[in-house]
Amino acid sequence: MSTTPRRITPLLAPSLLAADFANLQAETERLAGSAADWLHCDIMDGRFVPNISFGIPVLQAIHRHAQQPLDVHLMIEEPQNYLEAVRDAGAAGITVHYEACPHLHRVLQQIKKLGCRAGVALNPHTPAWVLQDIAQDVDLVCVMSVNPGFGGQSFIPHTLQKVAELKELLTDAGSEALIEVDGGVNEQNLLPLVEAGADVLVAGSFVFNAPDPVATLAELRAQLNGLFTAAD
């Protein structure tokens, strides 16, 4: 089954993993009026990935001060045991890793039953075709463009081809799932990623290491608007 790919304005989701953890309230509040569409929150357990970030209480605290929806990325083993708690902490969307879920379809249904957007993340070594049988059951696919676990890594160039392959797979399946790219996103690869099929761009270090994160997000938004204006 093949349909004409829909065209949406790409979304920007700054990753709070790169924010100042000592000032998360201030970091969250200053993004309220920014070009950020979502706030990306990475939860790591030190088992699925070799790092620990933050857990449910911190997610709750972020939610109290956030104006944008929270896009929660679970880089953890056995994510099915934490879905309800993550939803209750304020998640609008919950993304689990393909590699962490032997019963992925069941986990996606659990997330949807909780009223959240159901996402699947693919590590760099995992090909897009593994999602062929659940393409119509997923709301978002997060393509990891770095190895998960640490911020500040360099973008893996092969990601562009993988996004294009994933876009073709989803289109052929009649799926309206969004394609999200997470890791090493910056002003140089932003537009090529969108042209390849990305719908959501997660940027961490590039945004929060800038002198003015709000201005940096505005610049990225201007680039995206320019791409879509030129195409019209």
Residue numbers annotated as active site: 42, 182
Q: Which amino acid is at 79?
A: P
Residues near 182 by beta carbon (within 8 Å), at least 6 away in sequence: 15, 40, 73, 121, 142, 143, 144, 145, 146, 202
Distance CA 177, CA 62 (A): 26
Indicate the burial class of 183 (C-beta count within 10 angstroms; 0-12, 13-18, 19 or more).
Answer: buried
DSSP states along 55-68: -HHHHHHHHHH-SS
Distance CA(158)–CA(161), nearest Å, equals: 6
Residue 209 and residue 216 in contact, taking contact as beta carbons nearer than 8 Å? no
E-state strands within the chain = 11-14, 39-44, 70-75, 91-97, 117-122, 140-144, 178-182, 200-203
